[in-house]
C-alpha cells in the first residue's frame, strides 16, 4: 500500500510517500507560496505516485470538526492568501482518496507516539519550537481536539524575573510564542539564536519559558512523555536547563517514577525533523483503515 504524506508548513511543503509499516520511501520539498500553485505542485507529486490514501499535517489554525461546513480549512492564519482556504478539499477533490487531516504539530505527536519517543505509552505532548511554537497532544491513544485544537504556543507564561522584553506575538505579546519562539530570541538579543554561544544568558531565559509550558502540561495533562522539537531545540544545551527548571517548578508535587528521571522524560524527538512527515504518514494509514 502506498500512502501519501504532506507536512504543510508555513515556510515549506514536504511531500512524501510511505507504506503501512511507517517507512518513508520518497520525499520532496518546495516553498509555501500562494495557495493555488503550492497545492497544484503537491497534487502533481501525489498523482505521479498513485497513492491510495493521504495524511496531511498542516500549519494552522485549522477547522478540524468533520461536521463543520469549513472542515479542512486553514482559518485565521496571518499568512497572506491562506486565510479561510480549503486546503483539504483542494487536495481530496483532485486525488479522490481517503484522507486524514490534523495540525502539523499534532501530526508530529502522532508520529512519535507510533514510531518514536512515545511508542507504546498511550500519551505524550509534543512542542515544536521554531519560527512559532505549537503543541500537539496525544492522550489515551488518540489525538486531542476540542473547540479547535491545542494552541499551546499561546498559553500565558510567568515572566523571567530579569526579562523586560514585551514579546513578539501580535495577539498576546508575552505568551509562550511571543517570549520563546525564534523571532523572540532574535528580537530580544538583537542576534539570531544560532549565532549565540552555548553559555549566553539567552538560553537560561529560553529554558525558563519552555519549562513554564512543560510544567503546565505535566500538571494539566499528565502525559507519559514530553517531546521538544523544532529548530530552536537543536540547541541541545537547552535540555538540561529545562529539566532543572521543571524540577524546581514541580518541587516534588507530582509523585511519579518517570519524573525521577527527567533525562528520559523530557526528550528530543526520536524521529528528528522527520516527525511531522512520519506523523502525516500515520494519519494517512489511519484514513486508509490501518492501525
Condensed to tens digits (0 to 9), the pLDDT of residues 132-156 reads: 999 999 999 999 987 778 889 999 9
Question: For residue 232, what is the DSSP state?
Answer: G
pLDDT, one tens digit per residue, over 240-254 is 999 999 999 999 999
Between the CA of residue 43 and those of 28, 79, 99, what are the distances in Å? Answer: 12, 21, 13
Asked whether residue 110 is domain-assigned, the answer is no
| pLDDT interval class at 228 (50, 70, 90) | very high
CATH number, position 237: 3.30.420.40
pLDDT score, position 78:
81
Residues 260 and 277 in one domain: no
Average pLDDT, the chain: 95
Residues 82 and 185 in one domain: no
Residues 260 and 281 in one domain: no
Asked whether residue 39 is domain-assigned, the answer is yes
Using CB atoms within 10 Å of the CB of residue 19, give its burial: 0 to 12 exposed, 13 to 18 middle, 19+ buried.
middle
Identify which of 164, 263, 252, 264 has the alpha carbon closest to the alpha carbon of residue 205. Answer: 164
Asked whether residue 108 is domain-assigned, the answer is no
Residues 154 and 222 in one domain: yes
pLDDT, one tens digit per residue, over 12-47 is 999 999 998 889 999 999 999 999 999 999 999 999
**How far apart (Å, rounded) are the C-alpha atoms in residues 45 and 48?**
5
% of the chain surpassing 90 pLDDT: 91
Can you say whether the dihedral through the CA atoms of 226, 109, 212, 195 is positive or negative?
positive
Residues 158 and 219 in one domain: yes
**How far apart (Å, rounded) are the C-alpha atoms in residues 11 and 239?**
26
Residues 78 and 195 in one domain: no
pLDDT, one tens digit per residue, over 42-57 is 999 999 999 999 999 9
Between residues 123 and 79, the one the model is more confident about: 123
**How far apart (Å, rounded) are the C-alpha atoms in residues 228 and 234?**
10
Residues 147 and 194 in one domain: yes
Asked whether residue 111 is domain-assigned, the answer is no
Asked whether residue 32 is domain-assigned, the answer is yes
Residues 97 and 193 in one domain: no
Could you tell me which residues are beta bridge partners of residue 27? 16
Residues 172 and 236 in one domain: yes
Residues 252 and 188 in one domain: yes
Asked whether residue 109 is domain-assigned, the answer is no
Residues 129 and 264 in one domain: yes
The contacts of residue 262 (CB under 8 Å, 6+ apart) are 243, 246, 247
Domain tally for the chain? 2
Instruction: Determine the distance from the C-alpha atom of residue 263 to the mean position of all C-alpha atoms in its chain, rounded to a whole number.
Output: 21
**How far apart (Å, rounded) are the C-alpha atoms in residues 49 and 26?**
10
Structural domain containing residue 259 = 117-268
Asked whether residue 112 is domain-assigned, the answer is no
Global pTM value: 0.94
Asked whether residue 137 is domain-assigned, the answer is yes
Residues 28 and 148 in one domain: no
Does pLDDT of 273 surpass 90? no
Amino acid at each position: 500500500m502506498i500512502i501519501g504524506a504532506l507536512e504543510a508548513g508555513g515556510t515549506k511543503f514536504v511531500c512524501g510517500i510511505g507504506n503501512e509499516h511507517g517507512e518513508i520511501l520518497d520525499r520532496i520539498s518546495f516553498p509555501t507560496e500562494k495557495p493555488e500553485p503550492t497545492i497544484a505542485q503537491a497534487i502533481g507529486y501525489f498523482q505521479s505516485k498513485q497513492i491510495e490514501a493521504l495524511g496531511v499535517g498542516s500549519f494552522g489554525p485549522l477547522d478540524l470538526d468533520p461536521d463543520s461546513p469549513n472542515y479542512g480549512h486553514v482559518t485565521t492564519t496571518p499568512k497572506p492568501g491562506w486565510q479561510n482556504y480549503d486546503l483539504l478539499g483542494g487536495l481530496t477533490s483532485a486525488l479522490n482518496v481517503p484522507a486524514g487531516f490534523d495540525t502539523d504539530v499534532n501530526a508530529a505527536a502522532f508520529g512519535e507516539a507510533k514510531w518514536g519517543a512515545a511508542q507504546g505509552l498511550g500519551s505524550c505532548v509534543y512542542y515544536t519550537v521554531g519560527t512559532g511554537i505549537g503543541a500537539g497532544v496525544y492522550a489515551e491513544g488518540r489525538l486531542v481536539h476540542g473547540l479547535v485544537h491545542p494552541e499551546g504556543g499561546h498559553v500565558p507564561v510567568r515572566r523571567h524575573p530579569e526579562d523586560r522584553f514585551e514579546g513578539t506575538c501580535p495577539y498576546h505579546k508575552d505568551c509562550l510564542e511571543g517570549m520563546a519562539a525564534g523571532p523572540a530570541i532574535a528580537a530580544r538579543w538583537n542576534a539570531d539564536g544560532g549565532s549565540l554561544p552555548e553559555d549566553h544568558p539567552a538560553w537560561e531565559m529560553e529554558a525558563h519559558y519552555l519549562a513554564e509550558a512543560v510544567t503546565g502540561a505535566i500538571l494539566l495533562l499528565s502525559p507519559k512523555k514530553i517531546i521538544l522539537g523544532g529548530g530552536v531545540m537543536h540547541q541541545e544545551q537547552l535540555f538540561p536547563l529545562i529539566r532543572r527548571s521543571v524540577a524546581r517548578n514541580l518541587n516534588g508535587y507530582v509523585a511519579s517514577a518517570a519524573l525521577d528521571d527527567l533525562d528520559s522524560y523530557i526528550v528530543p524527538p526520536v524521529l528528528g525533523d522527520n516527525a511531522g512527515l512520519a506523523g502525516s504518514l500515520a494519519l494517512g494509514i489511519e484514513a486508509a483503515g490501518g492501525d
